[in-house]
Structures are given as structure tokens and as C-alpha cells.
Amino acid sequence: MNSITDLIYNRRTVRRFQPRRIAFSSLKSIVDSGRLAPSGANLQPLEFIVVDDDEIIGNLFPHTQWAGYLPEKDGRPPQGQEPTAYIVVLLNRNIRAQGGERDVGAAIENMILIALDEDIGSCWLGSINREAIEKLLNIPPSYDIDSVLALGYAAEHPIMEPSSDSIKYYKDESGVLHVPKRPLDNVLHHNTF
Ligand SMILES: Cc1cc2nc3c(=O)[nH]c(=O)nc-3n(C[C@H](O)[C@H](O)[C@H](O)COP(=O)(O)O)c2cc1C
């Protein structure tokens, strides 16, 4: 088991995956970590669809968008390096009529870190065709799709670096993804602004 510090500091969004299945037991543990996340008023409006069926995975992929700052060929996972599972994060509107996005954030970060603890990489997808995915997965009208978490064993290892003038991630000549992060001194205010 990795320390939470190592997981947080080593985590990077992955968009290239090995063609290796994820055991359903691992996917279940990942969802369990989402279930246990903090929830406003402890309402727990989140539900999760685990997609690990090859045909459904293939049908879901066209409804996802990848790495908006990169040209399509560098962003979107190429054939043979697509995600091998998805977790679709739903908000049950019978439990919570509106809001709940902060609950989603907490749950997804838990799931990303618990996945990584098992060497499973992930990409949080917000740019998705919700209407098409609702139809594909037969989701009832009382649920909203918030996000989709794409999962798979990593076939790329992006690098984090301090940002200077741009926050846009980019690929270098070797095809390695660099992810600029604002330096701590730029975001930390002490006592007063
Ligand atoms: C709310 C949210 C939505 C995102 N949606 C997408 C998406 O649709 N497609 C994608 O390729 N990445 C998406 N990402 C991943 C971000 O691009 C990524 O987190 C960012 O570039 C920083 O990289 P890092 O996760 O390695 O720190 C999303 C991340 C968040 C938090």
C-alpha cells in the first residue's frame, strides 16, 4: 500500500492505457472509496455505474472528449490504448434535487487515489455527451450524469512541472505529457489575502 502523500504527489491524469483488464473486485473497491467520501448533509446522492463490458466500453468511447489543449491525435487515446473500464458518476435527483457537485469532486478524488494505489491510472472526464450516455446505459430520467471516470493500467507517465506563463499541458518531442501546476507561493495566502 502506498502512502497517501505518495499517491497525491505522483498522481497524474492518464490518457494512454495498456490493453489489460481490471478485475471487477478492484472496480468494486474503487466505487466503495467513492461511496465513503464526505457528502453535504450526508445526503449521499451519488450512484455509480461500473462499465467493464467490451461492447459497452466501445460504444461509450465515442461520447468522450480528451485533452482539449492538444491536437486530437495527441489527446484522444489511440486504438489499442483506450480505457479498459469506466465508472459513470450519477446524481440521484430524488435524493438531492440540485447541487451535489462537491460530493462528486470528493468521491472522484477518492476513487482516483484508491485506483492508483492498485496501479490503475485514470482520467476524469467532464466533456462527455451526457444525452448519448444516458441512452446507452439506460439511465432513468431522475438521475443526472455528472462525470465519467476512465480507467486502465497506465501506458504513459506524464510529468508535473511548475507553471510559468501558461497552464496548458503539452507534449514534448518524445511524446511525454507535461502538466504545469501553479507554484505553492502563487496560491498560498497567509492570514490575510
Ligand atoms: C472536473 C474535471 C473535468 C475534466 N474533464 C476532462 C475531460 O473531459 N477530458 C480530459 O481529457 N481530461 C479532463 N480532465 C482532466 C484534466 O485535464 C486534468 O486534471 C488536468 O489537465 C491536470 O492534469 P493532472 O490531473 O495530471 O494534474 C478533467 C478534470 C476535472 C477535474
Strand partners, 91: 46, 144
> What contacts 51, CB < 8 A, 6 or more positions away?
57, 60, 85, 86, 87, 88, 137
Q: How far apart are CA 131 and CA 52, in angstroms?
A: 20
Q: Residues with Cβ within 6 A of ligand 1?
A: 12-13, 15, 65-67, 123-127, 158, 169, 179
Segment 132-158, tens digit of pLDDT: 999 999 999 999 999 999 999 999 999
Q: State the closest ligand 1 atom to the C-alpha of 15, by its place in the atom list counted from 1.
A: 11
Q: Are β-strands 143-153 and 159-162 bridged in parallel, bridged antiparallel, or unpaired?
A: unpaired
Q: What CA–CA distances, in Å, run from 184 to 44, 99, 120, 176, 181?
A: 33, 30, 27, 24, 9
Per domain, the residue ranges of the chain are: 4-157, 162-193
What is the 123 CA–ligand 1 centroid distance (Å)? 6
Strand partners, 92: 143
Model pTM? 0.98
pLDDT bin (cut points 50, 70, 90) of residue 19 is very high
Q: How far apart are CA 73 and CA 49, in angstroms?
A: 28
What is the 67 CA–ligand 1 centroid distance (Å)? 7
For residue 64, what is the DSSP state?
Answer: B
What is the 192 CA–ligand 1 centroid distance (Å)? 30
| Neighbouring C-beta atoms of residue 160, cutoff 10 Å | 15
Nearest Cα residue to atom 17 of ligand 1: 67
| Domain 4-157 bears CATH identifier 3.40.109.10 | yes
What is the 96 CA–ligand 1 centroid distance (Å)? 25
Reading the block at residue 38, the C-alpha cell is 464526505
Nearest to 50 by CA among 18, 76, 73, 24: 24
Q: Look at the alpha carbons of 26, 95, 38, 132 in this order and tell me if their dihedral is positive or negative.
A: positive
Q: What is the largest CA-CA distance in the chain?
A: 54
Segment 83-111, tens digit of pLDDT: 999 999 999 999 999 999 999 999 999 99
